[in-house]
Amino acid sequence: MDINVKEPFDRDRQFALKRQAVIRAAGLDFCKRGYHNTSMTDIASNLGLTKAALYYYVKNKGEVLFECHQQAYDAMDILLEKKLIWKNGLEKLGDLYCDFVRMLTASGISLLTDVNSLSEGNKIKVLKRRRKIESKIIKIVKQGQSDGSIREGDPRLHVFFFMGALNWLNAWYDNSGHFKGEDIAVHFATQMRLGIAAA
Amino acid sequence: MDINVKEPFDRDRQFALKRQAVIRAAGLDFCKRGYHNTSMTDIASNLGLTKAALYYYVKNKGEVLFECHQQAYDAMDILLEKKLIWKNGLEKLGDLYCDFVRMLTASGISLLTDVNSLSEGNKIKVLKRRRKIESKIIKIVKQGQSDGSIREGDPRLHVFFFMGALNWLNAWYDNSGHFKGEDIAVHFATQMRLGIAAA
DNA sequence: AATAAATTTGACTCAAGAGTTAAATTTATA
DNA sequence: TATAAATTTAACTCTTGAGTCAAATTTATT
């Protein structure tokens, strides 16, 4: 048996899980009110904790912001690596994009835009990761242009366009609101696909 | 002759122009580094001025942020009111969107996203204006769905998608960079149109 | 030359919030 | 029951940056 029944008693594991929860909660706060309009005390009290307890899990506020970014990119990387067989670049991209939206609406992970509040070192790391992901997506677009499923045009502009829609998602999406995550995912993926599909 | 040769000597006029310049410069700074990562001293020194001089033109930092939003919405309203005869909703929307991108890349006006750093009162005003603009655009989409130029689907989701691309524009566009504003405008308008066009 | 507007200088106050600390207390583990 | 981990309490320090102010200086207008 692989299931570890003792897991809930594994303190390191509990610590890691709680730390993740802190990051995720902070991410939601940053998303809703903005990094600088959210104090460590806010984050703590939203978790039913005290500021001092937060500092038991994280070094400082900048680290929290950094980890929020990491979390989002980790999730995106996992979706990018999901290797299946696709008819063509367009299909591949459509499903990937759908997964991105699903992930952002369902997981509590926020794709933050505030890169300028990171320390210089972390900012570089985050931008590097973002570019890496972007370039993987651009590669899929080029693939689609080669196989004839995606229309011509600057691949970077193709990507900037629909990734913008994705980045804006967090600004307005509210999981207690009118739209269901899955519906948005399907709608957005369709609109994305049609925008770049070959005639 | 309507041209007022004395204009450069009209002090009220000069004051207003300089105030506008302050807002616009601040908008560019906020866009590049974020509202909270930009100090009043930064804004001043980017204009070759001193902080005290800034306060000769504006009441406080919050007012500057508010005016940045107003400036962008003023510009969008002007484009929205540009009434011409269109074949159908899709054409109308395509041209409008193209104008939006042109405006954002050419005018030095920034479409800021940081609404949470506004005072409660100003935040309400800004969100009200944003919703008003959004609903005008949604109306055009519905128009297009009636006249058969735009495919079915929730009009709000159609709009959220391509307005996201617009909001994200400021985050990456650099007027000294690789892409020409006009090229982006044409590309984005095309991609927007194809995403919602009827089959 | 006289006046008013625009701007600089530099020092200052004030508030908010990050981050720390030590001691006490609660909770889980063995 | 003894121990170690998790968390609270509450007070504290420090930094940053907004906003103010008064006096001096420069620039434009008449």
Alpha carbon separation from B17 to B6, B7, B23, B55 (Å, rounded): 15, 11, 10, 15
Q: Is the CB of B52 under 7 A from strand C?
A: yes
pLDDT of residue A8: 58
Both structure tokens of B100 = 């939006």
CATH topology of domain B60-196: Tetracycline Repressor; domain 2 (1.10.357)
| Domain-wise residue ranges, chain B | 60-196
pLDDT of chain A along its 199 residues, tens only? Answer: 344 555 556 778 899 999 999 999 999 999 999 999 999 999 999 999 999 999 999 999 999 999 999 999 999 999 999 988 889 999 999 999 999 999 999 999 999 999 999 999 999 999 999 999 999 999 999 999 999 999 999 999 999 999 999 999 998 999 899 999 999 999 999 999 999 999 9
The chain-wide mean pLDDT, for chain B, equals 94
pLDDT of residue B21: 96
Segment B68-82, tens digit of pLDDT: 999 999 999 999 999
Per-residue confidence at B6, pLDDT binned at 50, 70, 90? low
Please check whether residue A51 is in contact with residue A42, taking contact to mean a CB–CB distance below 8 angstroms.
no
Averaged pLDDT, B120-142: 98
The whole-angstrom separation of Cα A165 and Cα A190 is: 13
Both structure tokens of A66 = 């950094």
Q: Contact B165/A164, CB-based, under 8 Å? A: yes
Please choose, from the candidates A180, A157, A185, the residue with its C-alpha nearest in 3D space to the C-alpha of residue A96. A185
Largest CA distance in chain B: 59
pLDDT of residue A2: 40
pLDDT of residue B93: 98
* Residue with the two structure tokens 């011509």: A152
pLDDT of residue B129: 98
Q: In this model, does residue B10 exceed pLDDT 80?
A: no
Per-residue confidence at B90, pLDDT binned at 50, 70, 90? very high
Please check whether residue B84 is in contact with residue B3, taking contact to mean a CB–CB distance below 8 angstroms.
no
The whole-angstrom separation of Cα B191 and Cα A160 is: 11
Helices A89-106, A120-146: inter-axial angle, 10-degree rounding: 140
pLDDT of residue B3: 41
B181 phi and psi angles, rounded to 5 deg: -50, -45
Give the nearest chain B residue to A197 (CA atoms): B194
At the top level of CATH, the class of A61-196 is: mainly alpha
Worst-scoring range by mean pLDDT, A7-11, B98-102, B191-195?
A7-11
Distance in angstroms: CA A158, C1' C16: 43
Both structure tokens of A59 = 């070094």
Nearest to B191 among A114, A188, A195 (CB): A195
Q: DSSP class of residue B149?
A: S
Q: Contact A163/B160, CB-based, under 8 Å? A: no
The whole-angstrom separation of Cα B185 and Cα B104 is: 9
Residue A196 in contact with partner chain B when CB distance is under 8 A:
yes
